[in-house]
């Protein structure tokens, strides 16, 4: 039912009651409505204090004017006219999740940002630093240097029900602390093509540009989702918004903060959606489950004895409706965990125990999409953790620990000094054993300091110096 229609009905009912009943009865009848309104206002007042405005700036290349391709113009303006750049700003929202300054937002809100300004509910502005980003779920964690901040309670998104009332809080079109109300329209939305791992909460609470990264809360004031996208033909609100469930968000956030990288579980299988014909061919009672099409050699699935044609119908005691659900559940399971998997093989149900592996990235390295931003000479350098698989791929036989350079932005002070593929083993004579060391050490280097690096380039070690920014 449309919210405006529902509100009108409530008003009509209240008028009828007040006109037909004695004053004392009319007062008793309308008091519950006032109580509900008061309770909702209290929840909103507390929750909006933990939602922040995030403003970012970054440099982008402008499409060069085609006139500059003409030799006549290039004679006067030279090739420099081809390299036009401009600053762009972006607005979004974030949610404070710890008293010492950790803030959740969307990856697309801060991706590529050179400067991040966080505006608190009180109006204070603070400089934000990227702790970690995960484009595959569109989640990012930033941090401000502040203590004693207000925080929000976590809700259990697995307990959400369709029809439950929710509030969306954010900064649409730069209008700070905007609160809209709606219901949970659907759960488990996937196949939208928004992110790699989709398990969206769909809501009709008004979400508009600028709401990205804001909070979706329940009537208890608990965080149940991070607003991330809308489905719209006009670019504005049309009653269909999507939020990332809080349980998925918390899993990614904990991995970024505590491990220094995003880790995901991995089975090593290619899966397929079932249809009525496939269900008959594999002697299944219905189309629920995930059909195994391929098993990766040496993967956890192969080691556990899974076979092509098996259908996974249960994971850790939970029924599997389809491939997307299984993909998300496995990804959220910590590598090394022993999982119970229910399968159907040749029409017979079986249970298999399996040790969850860690998802490799597309180029064979272990998944690690943390890309910090620092205000010093390491700005614009993206790194990943060094693993045994990576060393083997690079043909390095000796034991090396550190981080490998995966990308260097064009405006980075390190461009032309560091190379993609360099393994950073020491920074300012301090050993780098992984991403956690790297983030901790680099974050404490002032922009006025030069940086001494020990890197492994190819098979030779070399010292490099990055001059002060």
Q: What is the pLDDT of residues 402-457, one digit of tens each?
A: 898 887 877 788 888 998 889 999 999 899 988 888 988 998 898 889 899 999 98
92 and 203 belong to one structural domain: yes
CA distance 131 to 436: 10
Coil, strand or helix at 58: strand
236 and 300 belong to one structural domain: no
| Per-residue pLDDT, 64 | 59
Considering the candidates 108, 176, 204, 437, report the single residue annotated as catalytic. 108
CA distance 216 to 248: 14
176 and 123 belong to one structural domain: yes
* Residues 239, 207 contacting (CB under 8 angstroms): no
248 and 108 belong to one structural domain: yes
361-381 confidence digits (pLDDT tens): 644 444 444 455 688 889 888
The pLDDT confidence band at residue 395, using thresholds 50, 70 and 90, is confident
186-200 confidence digits (pLDDT tens): 998 887 778 888 889
Burial class (CB in 10 A: 0-12, 13-18, 19+), 173: exposed
Domain of 313, CATH number, reads 2.30.42.10
| Per-residue pLDDT, 374 | 80
Active site residue 69: no
58 and 153 belong to one structural domain: yes
Active site residue 337: no
68: number of CA atoms within 13 Å, CB side? 11
Quick check: is 365 in a domain? no
Burial class (CB in 10 A: 0-12, 13-18, 19+), 253: buried
- What share of the chain has pLDDT > 70, as a percent? 83
Active site residue 433: no
342 and 304 belong to one structural domain: yes
SS3 of the chain: helix, strand, coil, percent, to 5: 25, 35, 40
Closest CA to 461 of 401, 379, 374: 401
Considering the candidates 138, 199, 204, 437, report the single residue annotated as catalytic. 138
CA distance 92 to 249: 17
324 and 409 belong to one structural domain: no
- Over residues 219-235, mean pLDDT: 86
Burial class (CB in 10 A: 0-12, 13-18, 19+), 219: middle
The pLDDT confidence band at residue 294, using thresholds 50, 70 and 90, is confident
175 and 306 belong to one structural domain: no
Q: How many structural domains are present in the chain?
A: 4
| Per-residue pLDDT, 73 | 53
406 and 337 belong to one structural domain: no
- Over residues 4-26, mean pLDDT: 48
Quick check: is 372 in a domain? no
DSSP bridge partners of 385: 403
434 and 412 belong to one structural domain: yes
Considering the candidates 212, 368, 371, 382, report the single residue annotated as catalytic. 212
- The yes-or-no verdict on residue 21 having pLDDT over 50 is no
CA distance 454 to 402: 10
Instruction: Please give the model's pTM, rounded to 2 decimal places.
Output: 0.68
């Amino acid at each position: 039912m449309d919210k405006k229609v529902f509100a009108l009905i409530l008003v009509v009912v209240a008028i009828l009651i007040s006109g037909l009943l004695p004053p004392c009865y009319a007062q008793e009848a309308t008091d519950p409505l006032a109580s509900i309104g008061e309770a909702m206002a209290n929840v909103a007042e507390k929750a909006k204090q933990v939602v922040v405005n995030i403003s970012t700036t970054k440099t982008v290349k402008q499409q060069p004017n085609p006139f500059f391709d003409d030799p006549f113009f290039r004679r006067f303006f030279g090739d420099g006219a081809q390299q036009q750049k401009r600053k762009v700003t972006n607005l979004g929202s974030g949610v404070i999740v710890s008293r010492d300054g950790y803030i959740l937002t969307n990856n697309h809100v801060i991706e590529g940002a050179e400067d991040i300004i966080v505006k608190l509910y009180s109006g204070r502005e603070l400089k934000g630093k990227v702790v970690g980003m995960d484009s595959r779920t569109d989640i990012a964690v930033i941090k401000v240097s502040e203590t004693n901040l207000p925080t929000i309670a976590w809700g259990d998104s697995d307990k959400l029900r369709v029809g439950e009332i929710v509030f969306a809080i954010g900064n649409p079109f730069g209008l700070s602390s905007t609160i809209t109300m709606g219901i949970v329209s659907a759960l488990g939305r996937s196949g939208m093509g928004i992110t790699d791992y989709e398990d969206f909460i769909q809501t009709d609470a008004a979400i508009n540009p600028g709401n990205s990264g804001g909070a979706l809360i329940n009537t208890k004031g608990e965080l149940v989702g991070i607003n991330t996208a809308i489905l719209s033909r006009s670019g504005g609100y049309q009653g269909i918004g999507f939020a990332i469930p809080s349980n998925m968000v918390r899993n990614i956030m904990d991995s970024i903060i505590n491990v220094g990288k995003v880790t995901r579980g991995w089975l090593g299988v290619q899966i397929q959606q079932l249809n009525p014909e496939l269900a008959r061919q594999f002697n299944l009672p219905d189309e629920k489950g995930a059909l195994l099409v391929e098993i990766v050699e040496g993967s956890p699935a192969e080691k556990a004895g899974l076979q092509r044609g098996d259908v996974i119908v249960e994971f850790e005691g939970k029924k599997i409706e389809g491939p997307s659900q299984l993909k998300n559940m496995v990804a959220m399971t910590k590598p090394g965990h022993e999982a119970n998997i229910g399968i159907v093989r040749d029409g017979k149900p079986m249970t298999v125990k399996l040790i969850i592996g860690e998802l490799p990235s597309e180029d064979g390295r272990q998944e690690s999409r943390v890309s910090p931003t620092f205000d010093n000479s390491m700005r614009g350098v993206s790194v990943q953790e060094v693993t045994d698989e990576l060393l083997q791929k690079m043909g390095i036989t000796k034991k090396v620990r550190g981080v490998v350079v995966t990308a260097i932005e064009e405006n980075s002070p390190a461009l032309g000094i560091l190379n993609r593929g360099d393994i950073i083993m020491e920074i300012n004579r301090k050993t780098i054993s992984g991403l956690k060391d790297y983030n901790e050490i680099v974050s404490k280097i002032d922009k006025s300091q030069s940086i001494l690096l020990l890197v492994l380039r190819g098979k030779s070690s070399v010292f490099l110096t990055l001059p002060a920014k």
